[in-house]
Structure 1
Amino acid sequence: MENTKLHLLLADDDIDDCDFFKDAIDEISDIGELTILNNGVELMKFLVSDPEVHPNVIFLDLNMPKKSGMECISEIKASHALSHIPIIIYSTSLDHTVVNTLYELGAHHYIQKPAEFGSIKSVIRKVVALLGASTLQPRSRDNFIIQP
């Protein structure tokens, strides 16, 4: 991944969480570009607006207005044009029944939103380290949940 600029996308309706995430990206040197969208409808419109340009990874909140993260992942993974995009669930809650459902739907990893800024940077670094040239390593239930 050296010298490769990534395009990360965060879909989250919580403005404070978005600001912390952006600040963490800014402090992690030279990752690349971050796009922030605030609901599932915006996310889906963005993904279909330019089929030639997709993010390297989507950080997806579950509880968003207009269209939930669960609805978005179902649509993304059902789309031949979008299903290759790795999805990292980035959510406040950690319900293991929901986590299992998300794994079955095709999410690559699950991150419970950290409360501390340093931990946010830590989980982002872990995801970036897992990224290959343009995709995450094969999914595994054993390492599905990423801890700070």
Structure 2
Amino acid sequence: MPLTVMNIVLADDDEDDRLLFDEAISEIDVKTKLSLFNDGKALMDYLVLPDTILPEIVFLDLNMPIKNGMQCLKEIRANDKLNELCVAIYSTSSSEEDIENTFVNGANVYINKPNSFSALKKAIDKVLKINWQYHTSALNRDNFLLRL
């Protein structure tokens, strides 16, 4: 049986964060194809292309230039082609307001950017192994914020 490859997208304007994420995901025992974008506009332009293979999970930084993560989240949820996508907010912000706003606007999980490489690997691994169909049907504020 062929290994299925998980198509993952990360939109983050911080180059170091993108590189760390790429490195961490390559060390996880889930086969992935990672596409990186350095702002929300580039991400959204890519997602709406007619021949784009939609990702299983979109990791979205909140604070990006041109188009921020919240704008992307709202566009994704408002688009019939994209509204089923799993969206993981991936942010340095731990403000209750940001967490609440992304929850209300339909994000699937909220990850505070971990401060160590091993914690980052653990967070990505955990998100990639969530059974999203079950998880999203049982989504509530208690399981929205990813706890490591």
Corresponding residue for 1:43?
Answer: 43
Corresponding residue for 1:12?
Answer: 12
Corresponding residue for 1:75?
Answer: 75
Moved over 3 A (4+): none
Give TM-score scaled by structure 1 length.
0.92
Corresponding residue for 2:135?
Answer: 137
Unaligned runs of 5+ in 1: none
Q: Any conservation in 1 of the 2:11–2:39 contact (CA below 8 Å)? A: yes
Report the 3-state secondary structure (helix = DSSP H, G, I; strand = E; otherwise coil) of the residue aligned with 2:48: helix
Matched, 1:114 2:114: yes
Corresponding residue for 2:26?
Answer: 26
Q: State the number of aligned residues.
A: 145
Identity %: 39
Distance between the aligned counterparts of 1:128 and 1:78, measured in 2?
A: 24
Q: Following TM superposition, by how much is the alpha carbon of 1:136 offset from its aligned partner in structure 2, in angstroms? A: 6.4
Unaligned runs of 5+ in 2: none
Q: Any conservation in 2 of the 1:51–1:81 contact (CA below 8 Å)? A: no
Q: Which amino acid aligns with 2:16?
A: D
Q: Following TM superposition, by how much is the alpha carbon of 1:29 offset from its aligned partner in structure 2, in angstroms? A: 2.8
In structure 2, the CA distance between the partners of 1:137 and 1:3, relative to structure 1 (3 Å rule), is farther
Distance between the aligned counterparts of 1:64 and 1:91, measured in 2?
A: 10
Corresponding residue for 2:61?
Answer: 61
Q: Which amino acid aligns with 1:137?
A: H
Superposition RMSD on alpha carbons, in Å?
1.6
Q: Any conservation in 2 of the 1:108–1:136 contact (CA below 8 Å)? A: no
Q: Which amino acid aligns with 1:12?
A: D
Q: Any conservation in 1 of the 2:6–2:30 contact (CA below 8 Å)? A: no
Report the 3-state secondary structure (helix = DSSP H, G, I; strand = E; otherwise coil) of the residue aligned with 2:64: coil
Distance between the aligned counterparts of 2:128 and 2:134, measured in 1?
A: 9
